[in-house]
Amino acid sequence: MLDEQRLTGSSARRERGRNEMRAAILEAAGGIVAAEGIDGLTIRAVAQVLSYSPAALYEYFDSKEAILAALYFGGAEGLGAQCERAVQDLPQGATPVDALLALGRAYRSYALDHAELYRLVFGGFKVPPEPPAMDCPEDNRGGFGTLVQVAARGVEEGALVDLPPLVIACAVWSAVHGFVSLEVSGHLTGGEMPGMPPSSPVEGRRCRDQLFSALGRMVLFGFATDTHRSQALGT
């Protein structure tokens, strides 16, 4: 029993060390991206900041692209954490419809604030990086896991139609992601036609905000049960 406890303690220390090193790598990478942009990020540059050899970093991330993907999705300031906070910050008594709308807004806000990384992660990789392994998936829901969880709650409480939560989550994500991709790429400007400049930046943003709100409510109207459709429309 003692040997087993020692082994478990040793394994836990190694895991903590790996997590701390991953966090240090991502912190260094984030600083480089902030100062020099995505093009300035290389494994060698991160290694220099940390005073490590580049080869040592490959034990944690096998490519620059994997680091960039981890920066976008993971960590306390990543997309997943922002989506989780959007749900946690809702007032007591908020419904699943409220939570789904909040998740959509959080996703869009994060994408607009990190547009360069968004474009790269969702279209710039020749081969998408492998998602990180998770020892405890329930503690690492991320953005999509939170979306599935909220959809499941909506079905259970009778706010959403009786469909598999994964189906609802995929449909909501597809709609939000499609809008955001058009917006970030400059195809959806808020002008009178796709790609046309708006009368002013302020007017363009106001128009896009209205369109996004309407899109979210239309999608949720399709999934809401009869008693919750008025809420989905905001009426």
> Does residue 213 sit in the same domain as residue 177?
yes
- 133 and 96, same structural domain? yes
Both 51 and 82 in one domain: the answer is: no
Is 48 inside a domain boundary?
yes
- Range from 45-54, 132-141, 187-196 carrying the lowest mean pLDDT: 132-141
Mean predicted lDDT score pLDDT of the chain: 84
**Which residue range(s) make up the domain with 124?**
76-232
Q: Which helix (H) or strand (E) holds 130?
A: none
**pLDDT at position 4 over 60:** no
Query: Is there a single domain that holds both residue 94 and residue 210?
Result: yes
- Tell me how many domains the chain contains: 2
Using pLDDT thresholds of 50, 70 and 90, give the confidence band for residue 40.
confident
pLDDT tens-digit profile of 73-90?
Answer: 776 678 888 899 999 999
Mean pLDDT of 177-196: 90
Q: What percent of the chain has pLDDT over 90?
A: 41
pLDDT tens digits for range 94-142: 999 999 999 999 999 999 988 888 887 787 666 655 555 544 444 445 7
Question: What CATH code is carried by the domain that includes residue 121?
Answer: 1.10.357.10
Is 84 within 8 Å of 130 (Cβ atoms)?
Answer: no
Q: Report pLDDT for 136.
A: 42
Q: Which of 1-10, 57-66, 200-209 has the highest mean pLDDT?
A: 200-209
The proportion of the chain whose per-residue pLDDT surpasses 70, expressed as a percent, equals: 86
Q: Greater confidence, 4 or 235?
A: 235
How much is the pLDDT for 27? 86
pLDDT at 204: 92
Backbone region of residue 158 per phi and psi (left: phi > 0; alpha: psi in -120 to 50; beta: other values): left
Residue 166's nearest CA partner among 180, 149, 154 is: 149
pLDDT digits (tens, 9 = 90+) for 7-26: 566 677 777 878 888 888 98
What CATH number is attached to the domain comprising 29? Answer: 1.10.10.60
